[in-house]
């Protein structure tokens, strides 16, 4: 069997409703906000990863509401790891993208930002629409243990609360 060049994520069920929920937040293409920047900076430091993002999956792109370690503010959805991550409830963890047939030929793996490790926890509305992720990226393969997963989920919960609710107490 020949390897899959680079698998594009499936489209979630109820994609139109999901996009409506995302657009209703009026958050796409808005300026950076400290309440989200704080969370990705905290995540990058906690996990010792060079890149941490709050990524939102739009119709044909992923747009970053907050980012550490990445210069661009968006990439195509067709190459997005986060577009895969929003297809499941649990965080998606890719220990080594080069060893995963879905991502081994992905341009974000073979080129900049040279993703090897990825962990993304979905940001979900109360209606169950997964709008994006809080994700961690490393240039080296690595693993996430149960404590790491719990910390990622906790930070995701805090990012989700900021995304869906009124601004909370400052850190």
Partner 1 sequence: MNTATEVTAAPRRRLLLIEPSALFRRTVVLVARELDLADIDEASSHDVAREALAQQPYDGLLLDLGDGLEGMQVLQQLRHGQTRSPGGTPVAVMAAACDAATVALLREQGVQRILLKPFKVRTLLEVVATLSVATP
Which residues contact partner 1 (rule: CB under 8 A)? 38-39, 42, 45-46, 146-148, 150-151, 153-155, 157-158, 168-171
Intra-chain end-to-end CA distance of the chain, in Å: 51
- For partner 1, the closer of residues 106 and 160 by Cβ is 160
Taking the complex as a whole, the smallest distance from the CB of residue 12 to partner 1 amounts, in Å, to 26
Taking the complex as a whole, the smallest distance from the CB of residue 75 to partner 1 amounts, in Å, to 27
- For partner 1, the closer of residues 123 and 155 by Cβ is 155
Strands (DSSP E) contained in 31-155 are: 51-57, 61-68, 74-76, 92-94, 117-124, 130-138
d(CA 134, CA 101): 23
Maximum CA extent, the chain: 53
Taking the complex as a whole, the smallest distance from the CB of residue 154 to partner 1 amounts, in Å, to 4
């Amino acid at each position: 069997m020949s390897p899959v060049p680079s698998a594009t994520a499936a489209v979630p069920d109820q994609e139109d409703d999901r996009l409506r929920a995302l657009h209703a937040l009026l958050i796409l293409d808005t300026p950076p906000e400290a309440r989200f920047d704080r969370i990705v900076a905290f995540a990058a430091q906690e996990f010792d990863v060079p890149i941490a993002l709050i990524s939102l999956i739009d119709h044909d792109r992923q747009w970053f509401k907050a980012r550490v370690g990445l210069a661009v503010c968006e990439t195509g959805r067709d190459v997005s790891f986060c577009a895969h991550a929003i297809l499941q409830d649990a965080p998606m963890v890719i220990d080594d993208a080069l060893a995963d047939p879905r991502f081994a030929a992905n341009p974000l793996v073979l080129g900049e930002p040279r993703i090897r490790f990825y962990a993304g926890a979905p940001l979900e509305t109360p209606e169950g629409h997964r709008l994006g992720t809080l994700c961690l990226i490393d240039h080296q393969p690595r693993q996430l243990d149960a404590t790491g997963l719990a910390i990622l989920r906790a930070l995701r919960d805090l990012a989700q609360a900021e995304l869906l609710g009124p601004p909370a107490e400052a850190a």
